[in-house]
Each structure stands twice: as C-alpha cells, then as structure tokens.
C-alpha cells in the first residue's frame, strides 16, 4: 500500500489482492477489513470514498489484509460471527458457526415447548445451545440447557457468549462426550466432528488451517462421534426423547443406520436450503 491512499483506492487494492489469492468473497471481505479501521456503512463509503486514510489506519489495514491473505478466517480477524440473528465471539479455539447449522437450530425450536432439558454435545462456541434458548426473539425456549465439550478453551468462549447474549439457565461441562454429564434430557443436539480424516487436507485453508482439528476430525470414516454419541445417548434421554445431529451431505444413510442399531425410531432426514441432507432427527422410545 502506498503512503497516500484514499478509501476507494484501499478498497480496490484489497479486492485485487484477495481475488488473486483465491478468497471467494473478496469484495465483501475487503469491505469488512476496511470497516475494522473505519466504521462505514455502504452509503457512507460512497460519500467518503475520496477521503485519505491516515498513517495509523493504513498500517492497521496492512496487517489485517496480511492476515486475510494468509487465509485467516474473516471471523477470526473481527473476533465475531453471526449465527441465527446473534453475534457470537469466536477465535481459533472454536469452530466458526456456519449458516447450514441454523437448520439444526430450526428443527430443535420446532419441538421446544419451554419445559425441556436440552443437552448440546460438542458445544464449541455454544452457538447451537444459545440460539436454541433465545431463538430470534431473545425469549427463553427451554427450561434448562447443558453444553458439553472436551475443550476447556472452547467452553470459556461458550460461557462468554452466554453472558454477553443474556442466555440463562445454561451450564457448561468439560469432558470426553458424556463423561461429566449428569441427569437425563428431553433433547440431545449435536454438531460433532464429522470430516473423514483423509478429507481434511482437501478443505478450504480457512477451515483446514484455522478451525480446531478436534472439531473437524471424525475419524477414518467421519462417523466415529455419531457412533459414540448414539451408543451412550439412550442412558441420557428421557422416554420419547429426541436426538438431532448435523451431518455431512453424504452421511444420512450411515447415521440413520447407526441410530437404528441403537434402538432409535421415527428417523427423519432434513435438508438444508441448498438441498443437501443436513440434519438427522430420531426418537428413543424405550
């Protein structure tokens, strides 16, 4: 970047660099990077495009752009991700929330009456549990929620998100899956690690290099955590309790079979807005 740079020139420079590096949303990311140093609406941008950036802003923008060119996720640079209408704190210790996961939240909200006890297994940033509690209207949609994760650092972020968003009646416990989970639940929901180990290197750099590996690696076939959770879940579900999994686009049949083998019934496969299988829902009646 030159020493004399207008807002418009900085934006065009960043878009060009990001595009050449292979960043998919290079135009949006350039705008977001600029917003980190100058909080401008898109209309403000048009009105002030010829303003010159001062030296402090240029230096800050240079380092931000350098990080994005290394394919550091935009959410890590800004420290926040938007999910189901809420702003969540994120960093390298948690999986960045994806829009596809909102389908999982929608399916949970369909069956909540306000009296349930809900367990979110592999909670990460807490986005699923918190979004299920608050919905889009910041009302409480269940009686009590528990988020479990093996990562203490992830749980620190989940707790911060619960406090900042005003979610109540939530508890977060550390352990290997159900290790420290107590009691029974009406609903178990989970977006577990489900990438087959051999496929991880094929993921986009933002995911492969910056999301925590233990939130991605689902074992050799990507199904290890579905098996482990489904096997233990009957001991933690109330009669007629429901389990809901997020799945990879090609995992529906395998996850359905895993659930059947553990005695689950009324199994439904729900697609995301892209037409891909995204959620498996089942009931345990024993």
pLDDT at res. 3: 62
| 142-168 per-position pLDDT tens digit | 999 999 999 999 999 999 999 999 998
- Gap between the Cα atoms of 272 and 239, Å rounded: 28
Q: Is 58 exposed, middle or buried (0-12, 13-18, 19+ CB in 10 A)?
A: middle
pLDDT at res. 78: 93
Last residue of a domain, one of 70, 103, 122: 70
- In this structure, the answer to whether residues 175 and 280 fall within a common structural domain is yes
In a domain, 213, yes or no: yes
Mean pLDDT of 196-217: 94
Query: Looking at the DSSP assignment, which residues form a beta bridge with residue 269?
Result: 280
pLDDT at res. 2: 52
3-class SS string, 106-144: HHHHHHCCCCCEEEEECCCCCHHHHHHHHCCCCCCCCCE
CA angle (42, 48, 53) in 5-degree steps: 110
In a domain, 2, yes or no: no
DSSP state of 100: G
Instruction: Provide CB contacts within 8 A for 205, sequence distance 6+.
Output: 71
- In this structure, the answer to whether residues 132 and 243 fall within a common structural domain is yes
- In this structure, the answer to whether residues 47 and 183 fall within a common structural domain is no
Tokens of 166: 């005003």
* Percent of the chain whose pLDDT exceeds 70: 99
- Gap between the Cα atoms of 182 and 236, Å rounded: 8
DSSP state of 3: S
Mean pLDDT of 87-107: 96
pLDDT at 284 over 70: yes
Residue 132 contacts residue 112 (beta carbons within 8 Å)? yes
Last residue of a domain, one of 70, 103, 120: 70
In a domain, 42, yes or no: yes
User: Per-residue DSSP letters for 223-239?
Assistant: -HHHHHHHHHGGGTEEE
- In this structure, the answer to whether residues 88 and 63 fall within a common structural domain is no
- Gap between the Cα atoms of 182 and 201, Å rounded: 37
Task: State the pLDDT confidence band at 262, using cuts at 50, 70 and 90.
Answer: very high
Q: Identify the CA nearest to 246 among candidates 284, 280, 283, 211.
A: 280
CA angle (226, 228, 232) in 5-degree steps: 115
DSSP state of 38: S
- In this structure, the answer to whether residues 263 and 204 fall within a common structural domain is yes
- In this structure, the answer to whether residues 57 and 91 fall within a common structural domain is no
- In this structure, the answer to whether residues 233 and 268 fall within a common structural domain is yes
- In this structure, the answer to whether residues 98 and 35 fall within a common structural domain is no
Q: 10 Å Cβ neighbour count for 212?
A: 17
- In this structure, the answer to whether residues 177 and 273 fall within a common structural domain is yes
Spell out where 131-236 has E strands: 144-149, 170-174, 185-190
In a domain, 233, yes or no: yes
In a domain, 20, yes or no: yes
Give the range of the structural domain holding residue 151, as residue numbers without chain letter.
84-284
- In this structure, the answer to whether residues 154 and 266 fall within a common structural domain is yes
How many domains does the structure of the chain reveal?
A: 2
Q: How many CA atoms lie within 13 A of 209 on its CB side?
A: 10
In a domain, 243, yes or no: yes
In a domain, 1, yes or no: no
- In this structure, the answer to whether residues 51 and 160 fall within a common structural domain is no
- In this structure, the answer to whether residues 129 and 213 fall within a common structural domain is yes
Tokens of 192: 């577990």
Residue 201 contacts residue 259 (beta carbons within 8 Å)? no
Task: State the pLDDT confidence band at 40, using cuts at 50, 70 and 90.
Answer: confident
Tokens of 254: 């395998």
3-state helix, strand, coil in the chain (%, to 5): 45, 20, 35
In a domain, 78, yes or no: no
Q: Residue 178 is part of a domain; what is its CATH number?
A: 3.40.50.150
pTM (2 decimals)? 0.91
């Amino acid at each position: 970047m030159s020493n004399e740079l207008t807002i418009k020139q900085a934006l065009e420079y960043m878009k060009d660099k990001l595009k050449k590096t292979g960043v998919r949303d290079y135009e949006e990311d350039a705008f977001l990077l600029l917003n980190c140093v100058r909080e401008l609406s898109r209309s403000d941008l048009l009105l002030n495009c010829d303003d010159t950036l001062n030296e402090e802003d240029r230096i800050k923008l240079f380092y931000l752009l350098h990080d994005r060119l290394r394919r550091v996720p935009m959410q890590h640079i800004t420290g926040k991700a938007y999910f189901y209408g809420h702003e969540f704190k994120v960093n390298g210790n948690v999986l960045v929330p994806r829009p596809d996961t909102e389908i999982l939240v929608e399916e949970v909200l369909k069956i909540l009456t306000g009296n349930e006890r809900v367990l979110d297994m592999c909670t990460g940033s807490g986005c699923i549990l918190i979004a299920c509690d608050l919905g889009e209207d910041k009302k409480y949609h269940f009686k009590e929620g528990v988020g479990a994760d093996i990562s203490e650092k992830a749980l620190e972020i989940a707790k911060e998100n619960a406090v900042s968003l005003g979610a109540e009646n939530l508890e977060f416990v550390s352990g290997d899956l159900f290790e420290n989970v107590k009691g029974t639940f009406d609903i178990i929901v989970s977006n577990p690690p489900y990438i087959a180990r051999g496929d991880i290197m094929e993921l986009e750099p933002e995911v492969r290099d910056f999301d925590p590996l233990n939130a991605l690696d689902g074992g050799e076939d990507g199904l290890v955590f579905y098996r482990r959770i489904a096997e233990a879940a009957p001991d933690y579900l109330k009669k007629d309790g429901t389990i809901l999994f997020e799945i990879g686009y090609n995992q529906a049949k395998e996850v359905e079979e895993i659930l059947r083998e553990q005695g689950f019934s009324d199994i439904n496969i729900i697609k995301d807005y892209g037409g891909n299988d995204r959620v498996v829902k089942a009931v345990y009646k024993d």
